Structure 1
Amino acid sequence: MTSPRKASTTVRIGCAGWSIPAAHRALFGAGDSMLARYATRFDCVEINSSFYRPHRRQTYARWASSVPRGFRFSVKLPRTISHEQRLRASGPLLDRFLEECSGLGGKLGCLLLQLPPSLALEPRVAATFLAMLRRRFAGAVACEPRHASWFAPRAAELLRRHRIARVAADPVPHPGADLPAGDGAFAYWRWHGSPRMYYSAYGEADLRARAALVRSQRVRRQWVILDNTAHGHAIADAACLQAILRRGGTRS
């Protein structure tokens, strides 16, 4: 029998993108599109293409119509905001992005803000941006910082104050980056493949250890995104993690 804390934890498991390698097609049911087929197995997906280019609101709406009611999307904020503007003077860009991805409707589950490794924490700039984001969007937000300054206690407190989850990443860019921080009700894991980022598979033994970390978190909602997509390992690893967590009693 699982503890009340574990039983109340919901874990969504998915991949960065919905490409399905031919070797893993048997894991999925039928569907009118690759996304529809992907959604027969997983209940979330991370959209990374929005980082590189905008998508029309109608495109997001079409994606939303392709998946079941309980499916959710995580959408990555554009690099124009995170890497070019570096969180400064980006209100119009943010408004445009939010208008576009509003096409997902209630299936918009999370926003993902990935920061460049060179972007150090500037508390005033970060607080201004996060407050602006929160005035416009009340849902779940995850931030993946990669500069060491973002892993200090004051950064965690800033994220917590604005209800932003600090991504728990692998490979680990700095000590402590492998565990969630910030928002106490939401955790977001991004596993990029290790030892070779984007290319390496995790395998069952590694995923068992990672599943234990996921189970140990005292948060109501968690997302786990596999981003080791370069050789198609994300699908198999996500399916394996799904099975491990189900056997362990955590809802997924």
Structure 2
Amino acid sequence: MANERASHVPGTRAALLLLTDGRFPAGGHAHSGGVEAAVADGRVRDPGSLAEFCRGRLHTTGQVAAALAAAATAGADPLGLDEAADARTPSAALRAASRRLGRQLLRAARAVWPAPALDALAAARPRGAHQAVVLGVTAAAAGLPPADAAHAGAYDSVSTPAFAAVRLLGLDPFHAAAVLGRLAPEVDSVAAAATAAAERACREGPDTLPAPCAPLIDLDAEAHAAWPVRLFAS
């Protein structure tokens, strides 16, 4: 299992903090998590509408990412999980963005937590594996348990749009942080469910992983990718 292969690395809570730090060089600062298109449409315009957007993202794409990350940490085949991630990402633009983010995260992870599993994934997916899968393999390399990987995936799904909204709306950073603070219990709940789903996937295969969809985010991503000028890559 992936976490057994990384058992020589002492897992620490500081490793989780580093992995989820917005300053970690994984490329997330260049992405908005779909909120740029939502701001342009007027659906996100203030802290209240931002909170609703983040909540919806958490319980759809965030749930999928958290479960994929936890399964990869728990030892499920990362290539099989990468195919499962493809099947759960209808938008070609979002698949491309996820793989770009995965490639950058993998580059950073190999520098910080060198491990054979990371090297093998880089060799198998030279153009990038999906971000959530890389996150899980990275968490294992850092000695973290599946639950921590699930928390990282769930948190990323809301922190990316929340902090992007600060730039897009001129939002008070305190208000964006408050959105994340109020969503914290739901992040915990999604992470716990994702960890349980990952355990089942390790026994029965990746087809059992959750697959909730967010059609409007998918449609927005395709439109956003065609914009001639945009602030964020996705």
- When normalised by structure 2's length, the TM-score is 0.30
- Greater strand percent: which structure? 1
- Greater helix percent: which structure? 2
- When normalised by structure 1's length, the TM-score is 0.28
The one of the two structures with greater contact order (alpha-carbon pairs below 8 A, sep at least 6) is: 2
